[in-house]
Chain A
């Protein structure tokens, strides 16, 4: 549905986006993740036809955005970083205007406007001027204008920015609902959002794509070694440490907390080696109490930091994992 090939965008001497490629399948929700200034907004602006790319190609809903911009735009809904509202218009007037320039047939406009106002929960503010809305409402009116012509592709630049927690949950649910019949790209730097709403993630840093994968796979691929978190009740934690270290496959054991009879242990083993059974039986057979045993997963936050602070961000993820 969306195909980006070797896209490069330069502003004078600065390169905002450098040779990025990715595809989004129909009905998929793709998360676009990156620190501020990574090139997220630039990429989205190129995809929506707001600005042309310096090099490369972008195909949206089957139309090249540079060759057939009007056809591509007709099928794209876009929520920019700041919702593009006219302060002196009422919400209803504004949405009527947008539906008109997006090519919604005259007969359907009224019902479409009513429908999207209800879906985005702004109907109670229909007669309020856009300039008098709170940040949360502005954001949702912005979302309403993006979906008003029922576009095949939705491009949302930080759709939950400025919303309160309840509104964030509602908006995420709305995005998930839309995900079925719309293809969505959303950018964010709120990481839980990605794991909750997106099927796939593109991590971008300094204009380069550093990783493309599902949130789960990313977590798994980035773990260089497996770490188990254990809580064990035993008379001597030093004995436990020794016993755990002697298990084949275990590379190191650290004891972050050894006060009292209950101590916590972090057991590292080589990548892909599952030592949970051996760990459990070693503890139990020694007569100690196994209170907790769970794998420590790298959170998306850590992955993100890891990927975006590496100086050689261009290297593919797999290689970095091996180096660790």
Chain B
């Protein structure tokens, strides 16, 4: 356990010692802010229409009209930023030779992989942490329900965990950061758009594709629904990717 914490702290330190952490957090915050303003205007108009009685919908729910779409929009930011977080995790250690230090220290492969995963996850949580400010504004001037907000954050954390664990695995396959980053991005995008063709396929295929789509599972979280189906999907996705990473690190030793 102590070893996992040591590796995670080392990862975090190196993110914050380099510009990576600040750039990832800073620019995500700008994008999030933009999405937020956008949805806020939209929500404002909807609310005015409802109040003006111009045949609009009844009362406008801030959770449904603003927060849920906002959470869905965050997944767009993740698509672009999380590959940047994970692409260096293993590639950089391999390129600079520091992997030799880790692999010749009394650590198990699983400890190294978990340490790196939690390091990335904490950085990602810090990135999400900035958005708490926006939520604070909503809570200060409106009265949204807090439960869907909490489940939304949980969903985002789990979805990010999926992306990060997959990115970690891809980074463990190559010495080259750009290669790792590009493949990670492509794989993320694939999991994102995998159900786009589902409306043209047979019902069975449609169900499978929808189940595989990483964003499809986020929907219920943003609406305040905690479904074990989605929890199982995310947790097993993370566990499986981390398992693949451990195997990949181990096989690296055999291949030399």
Q: Which of B9-17, B70-78, B138-146, B167-175 contacts A (4 or more CB under 8 A)?
A: B9-17
Q: B169 → chain A, closest Cβ, in Å?
A: 20
Binding stretch for chain A, among B49-57, B100-108, B202-210: B100-108
Known: A84-B96, A97-B6. A103 touches B106 (CB 8 A): yes
- Measured as residues with beta carbon below 8 angstroms from the partner, the interface class of chain B is 20 to 34
- Closest chain-B Cβ to A185's Cβ sits at a distance in Å of 14
Q: A11-B256, A78-B104 are in contact. Are A101 and B3 (CB under 8 A)?
A: yes
Using A84-B97, A89-B17 as known contacts, say yes or no to A50 and B6 having CB atoms under 8 A apart: no
Instruction: Report how far A16 CA is from B14 CA in the complex, Å.
Output: 35
| A93 in complex: contacting residue of B2, B13, B101, CB < 8 Å | B13
**Alpha-carbon separation in the docked complex, A149 to B253 (Å):** 24
Whether, in the assembled complex, A87 has its beta carbon less than 8 Å from a beta carbon of chain B, the answer is yes
How long is the Cα–Cα vector from A124 to B128 in the complex, in angstroms? 40
**Do the beta carbons of A52 and B106 come within 8 Å of each other?**
no
- Give the size of the chain A interface in residues (CB under 8 angstroms): 34
Q: Which of A71, A74, A86 has the most CB of B within 10 A?
A: A86
Q: Let me know if B106 and A78 touch, CB within 8 A.
A: no
Q: Are B256 and A51 in contact (CB under 8 A)?
A: yes
A128 → B minimal CB distance (Å): 13
Q: What distance in Å separates the Cβ of A96 from its nearest Cβ neighbour in chain B? A: 10
When C-beta atoms are compared, the residue in chain A nearest to B17 turns out to be A88
Question: In the assembled complex, which residues on chain B have CB atoms less than 8 Å from the CB atom of A39?
Answer: none
Which of B97, B105, B256 meets A80, CB within 8 Å? B97
Q: Is B254 an interface residue when CB atoms closer than 8 A count as contact? A: yes
A145 in contact (CB, < 8 A): yes
Q: Are B256 and A9 in contact (CB under 8 A)?
A: yes
Contact of B104 among A76, A83, A85, A97 (CB under 8 A): A76
* A99: nearest chain-B partner, CB-CB: B6
Contact of B106 among A11, A73, A84 (CB under 8 A): A73
A74 and B106: CB pair below 8 A? Answer: yes
- Asked whether any CB of chain B lies closer than 8 Å to the CB of A290, the reply is no
- B18-30 Cβ-contact flags toward A at 8 Å (1 or 0): 1000000000000
Cβ contact within 8 Å between A100 and B6:
yes
Whether A102 is near chain B, meaning CB under 8 Å from some CB there, is yes
The 8 closest A-B pairs by CB, nearest first: A84-B101, A88-B17, A84-B98, A48-B104, A73-B106, A82-B97, A80-B100, A74-B106
